[in-house]
Amino acid sequence: MDYNNYKVKAWSESRKKMIDLYKITPFALNENTNQDGIFIPFMEDLTLLRPSEVKDMAGRTYYEGDIVAYEGLIIHTMSDPIDIIFEVIFVRASFVLHSDKLCISMPLDSKPLSGKIIGNIYENPELRNNT
């Protein structure tokens, strides 16, 4: 992971909005300071979203909680390509694309994927029903 470009996001439940922690804590992430680690302000309702090293087809980084759409995905247990929506989850120290609807999970590895981020479970909770 390239920590010089490490972007941490968080969901604030009370504000109902995504927070870019780099914008509110630039001092802690400035390479000219003699810091070890990053400073994250304490907020009771803050849910930290881990970034993966993987980007979608538009070049956006996958974060835990993202909802990702795939068109024409071929799954070995099915004969025809299908359109499917996954949720990005973090399980056992790795990122996984998961679909409750199809009862499948796939590892999110480091190569670029053909999926497209269409939202996240916090700002678009209705999308979670399709995963």
Report residue 67 CA to chain centroid gap. Answer: 8
Question: Rounded to 5, what percent of the chain is helix, strand, coil?
Answer: 15, 40, 45
40 and 63 belong to one structural domain: no
pLDDT tens, residue by residue, 45-91: 888 888 888 888 888 999 999 999 987 666 666 667 667 889 999 99
Same domain, 100 and 126: yes
In this structure, of 24-38, 81-95, 117-131, the range with the lowest mean pLDDT score is 24-38
User: Above 70 in pLDDT, residue 10?
Assistant: yes
pLDDT-derived band at 123, boundaries 50, 70, 90: very high
> Does pLDDT of 34 surpass 60?
no
Domain that holds residue 72: 52-131
